[in-house]
Amino acid sequence: MGLPMGLFLLVLHFGGALAGPPQLTQPSPSHVVDEKIPRLHCQMSGSDITTHVLSWYHQPPGRGPVFLLSHRAGDSKPAYGVGISERFIASLERDTNTFSLTIGNVKPADAGTYFCAVWYANQYLFGEGTRLILGGDPRKNRRPQVALLGPAPAPGPAFLCVAWGFSPEPVRLRWQVDGREPGPGEAAPPAEGRDGAGAASLLHLPPRAWLEGARVTCRVEHETQAQQSSGEVKGAGRRGCSVSTGDPVPPPDPLGNGTAGSTALQSTGAPSLGRILLTAWCWYLGLLAASCLYGLGVSLLVGLREPRRPGPPPPPPEARWRAGKEHHFK
């Protein structure tokens, strides 16, 4: 019984580590408040929310984050930070795996960004944050419009995602390549306009990913919509250096409805600049490979035909004995 029980405990202990760390998602980047009791949400994926200690932090404008509270399933009430009022109420929703924060009798000092956090592997993992905007009117919120532009001529295909016309300011831009997040260094951090009227993000892909038909998606997350705005450009699935007249051309106009959709694919009889550059690049690589093979073959032929030069004769036995004797007495 001892060995099976020990194995069972090891599985329980290392099961979470093998499954990977939990991920926290705060669905809305902002929350415009016109009521006295706002409610913020944080959803966990990859683990059961009832098995963790979760916390909320508040970062006022121009200041560092302040610990509000921590809570575990089964506790009667959360543990509050120093000077934090009990008008901050934490709750767990097991059905949706969500950790929520309710602020009672909201005050002007409550404005700022709220971060949820989970204690995992001796460190805190945080959500993206939700900005609480006081005194606003949710009826004046505007949904973002989004356009996905590309591919642009570059060492690797480059795509630009642009969102504009939204209110309030907080917005998130996320990339997906064939349903997964881009690798390290592929996506640049989003850049936002000074007045919050627009945001843009740049994505670089390896040439092979586009030539094999990768599907690129830009998702825009905003308070005004439960579903994300997206635009897609699908690779042509080319093989080798062949060029097809059906290659996608970036649309001149962005998506006007701000909802999920695909950019229209346009085809013209004349080859586009991108296709011309692709053909030239393929020819350049072919010539470069041919020249390398030619140079290697010539070097091998010259090396085989050139007679070997005799090396220096070995020293006489007496000289070797003297050299060893001098080395021994040094």
What pLDDT, in 10s, does the model give residues 248-270?
Answer: 333 333 333 333 333 322 223 33
Domains within the chain, CATH numbers bracketed: 20-136 (2.60.40.10), 141-264 (2.60.40.10)
| Of 1 and 203, the one with more pLDDT | 203
- Burial of 157 from C-beta contacts in 10 A (0-12 / 13-18 / 19+): buried
- What would the pLDDT profile of 143-189 be if each residue is shown by its tens digit? 888 888 877 766 677 888 888 887 777 888 888 888 787 766 676 66
Residue 6: CA count within 13 A, CB half-sphere = 3
Q: Which of 108-117, 149-158, 291-300 has the lowest mean pLDDT?
A: 291-300
- What would the pLDDT profile of 36-45 be if each residue is shown by its tens digit? 788 999 999 9
pLDDT higher than threshold 60 for residue 316 = no
Strands 88-93 and 79-80: unpaired
> What pLDDT does 77 receive?
87
Question: DSSP label at 103?
Answer: E
| Mean pLDDT in residue range 41-58 | 93
- Inter-residue contact 192 to 313 (CB < 8 Å): no
| Mean pLDDT in residue range 58-64 | 93
pLDDT higher than threshold 60 for residue 140 = yes
> What pLDDT does 43 receive?
93
- pTM of the predicted protein model: 0.57
Report the C-alpha gap between 174 and 190 in whole angstroms. 9
Strand order, beta sheet including 98-103: 23-25, 39-45, 98-103, 88-93
Q: Tokens 């009667």 label which residue?
A: 76
Element (H, E) at 57: strand 53-59
**At a CB cut-off of 8 Å and minimum separation 6, what does 217 contact?**
148, 175, 176, 177, 230, 231, 232
Q: Which of 7-16, 247-256, 294-303 has the lowest mean pLDDT?
A: 247-256
pLDDT higher than threshold 60 for residue 112 = yes
Q: What mean pLDDT, rounded, does the chain reach?
A: 70
> What pLDDT does 161 receive?
87
Q: Tokens 């040094």 label which residue?
A: 330
> What pLDDT does 232 receive?
59
Report the C-alpha gap between 251 and 263 in whole angstroms. 7
Share of the chain above pLDDT 90, in %: 23
> What pLDDT does 306 receive?
52
- Inter-residue contact 249 to 267 (CB < 8 Å): yes
> What pLDDT does 219 receive?
83
| Mean pLDDT in residue range 70-87 | 91
- Cα–Cα distances (Å) from 148 to 86, 136, 160, 193, 216, in that order, read 46, 30, 6, 17, 9
> What pLDDT does 24 receive?
93
